[in-house]
Chains A and B, each alone.
Chain A
Amino acid sequence: MDNHLIEIDNISLLRNEKSILENISFQIKKSKALNLYGLNGSGKTSLLKIIVGMTEPTSGFIKNVSGDEDLFKKTIYIGHKYGTKGNLTVEENLSYALTVNSKNSPLIIKKALETYKMTRQKSMLTKNLSHGQQKKVSLMKTLITNSLLWVIDEPYSALDEESINIFNDTTKEYLKNGGALIMTSHKKIKEPFFTTENYKIYS
């Protein structure tokens, strides 16, 4: 039980009298990635939104069993909308995303830019970047904030192979250091990039 962060207990969600999620229970564990997969419209995004507290489930509970009261504040959520300002440069977007400003924040940002190989684009306005590059900017936010849990909706969409590998590597590193990841995808993850559990959602 020690390594459990969040327990999802019997979650159901009704929308317009249509059942979207029914009796879903699982645990989010430390140092593990959890991949929610299912068909389009099976409620993956809704489930993520319930976990981060944006949507209220019709029934069921999300229990914080990590022992850290601020767990949900130390969670980073990256949704379908990238959360980047088109009129800010890549660097500015990252620096405003920092939760704590300290002396070494430029260093942290520089490192994130290097990891995702975006140093050359750092002073470009985000709106002039391609979709994939914008996605990378939003994924970079995971690297610059100190979070206990990453909640990422479709991390692989819009990314090229190289970026997918970068994401896999950073995730591996993050999980090794005691982080946790919950993500959605439309298929099962078979390759052992990192310790993954797959959870299928039926609609």
Chain B
Amino acid sequence: MKILNIITKEFLLASRSGYEIFMPIVYFLIIIIFFNISTSYVEKVIMLELLPLMIWISCLLICILNLETIFKEDYDDGTLEMFLIKDDEIELGILIKILSHWLLSNLPIVIVAPLIAMVLGLDTTTTLTLFVTLLIGTPTMSLIGSIAAALTISLRKNKILVSIIVLPLYIPILIFGTSAVNNSFFKMNYSVELTLMLFLFFIFLLITPLACSKALKISLD
């Protein structure tokens, strides 16, 4: 009941905020188009090899793009204060907020990216791997990013700091994700990468709500 309540609220707010929800997907399309234009001189085989990796990088960049907005609006209008004081399930509330952020800004890309990859000529198995790795990787990135966003929320311009904090933490996910896709492209085994990615996801699923609630409480102090 409560979970649904928060999600519907976030979706309602997103729908009222106008075209902003389309920004991630527009950015993604721009990157892909530019990538294709700039690599049109490269041989098609090499291009295909680079394509899934390029998609991975663009997803990662787009994830960073609006990370700091997760708690920012709530902080600015005072909703966060009331939420932290009153609520008895702060951790759950934070997790749902991150989930709705992921649903709104990352899930569209996770769905669109494999489709575009297929249109550009990637084989089905690699596309499937790309989809699965993005499905595991992007929520992990949202979880990590929300810790950084929570830590820096009291700063007026926290965008740069969030990106810097998040950068080294994203590298393992990028390595495992691109490695899995690459292995799949060359018909090699990639189960280790997937396991490690899942491992990272569950670790941050456990850590993030606790870290966020502490960080937010400190920043309200």
Which positions in A face B, CB cutoff 8 Å?
Answer: 52-56, 72-73, 75-77, 79-88, 92, 96, 99, 101, 125
Contacts and interface: CB of A to CB of B under 8 A. Distances in A.
Interface stretch (B80-88, B132-140, B152-160, B186-194): B80-88
B76 interface: yes
B125 interface: no
B79 interface: yes
A77 B87 CA distance: 12
Q: Could you tell me the dominant secondary structure of chain B's interface residues?
A: helix
Given A73-B86, A92-B12, A101 B1 contact: yes
Contact of A73 (B13, B76, B88): B88
A176 to B, nearest CB: 24
Contact of A80 (B9, B78, B82, B221): B78
Nearest to A87: B16
Nearest to A134: B77
Contact of A52 (B9, B76, B79, B85): B85
Contacts of B9: 88, 96
Contact of A54 (B76, B77, B81): B81
A85 B221 contact: no
B5 interface: yes
Nearest to A70: B88
B17 interface: yes
A55 B217 CA distance: 8
Contacts of A85: 13, 73, 77, 79
Nearest to A98: B5
Contact of A83 (B12, B17, B79, B220): B79
Give the dominant DSSP class at A's interface: loop
A81 B77 CA distance: 6
Nearest to B87: A73
B79 A76 contact: no
Nearest to A125: B16
Q: Nearest 10 A-B pairs (CB), nearest first? A: A81-B78, A83-B78, A87-B16, A83-B82, A52-B85, A83-B79, A55-B221, A54-B220, A77-B85, A87-B13
A175 B220 CA distance: 30
Interface string B90-104: 000000000000000
A82 B12 contact: no
A168 B166 CA distance: 49
Contact of B86 (A55, A56, A75, A86): A75
5 contacts: A53-B85, A73-B87, A79-B78, A88-B9, A88-B16
A101 B2 CA distance: 9
A84 B13 CA distance: 12
A10 B9 CA distance: 41
Given A77-B82, A83-B79, A56 B221 contact: yes
Contacts of A87: 13, 16-17
Q: Which of B13, B82, B88 has the most CB of A within 10 A?
A: B82
Contacts of B79: 83-85
Contacts of B16: 87-88, 125
Contacts of A82: 77-78
Nearest to A82: B78
Interface in B1-24: 1, 5, 9, 12-13, 16-17
A92 to B, nearest CB: 7
A83 B77 CA distance: 5
B78 A88 contact: no
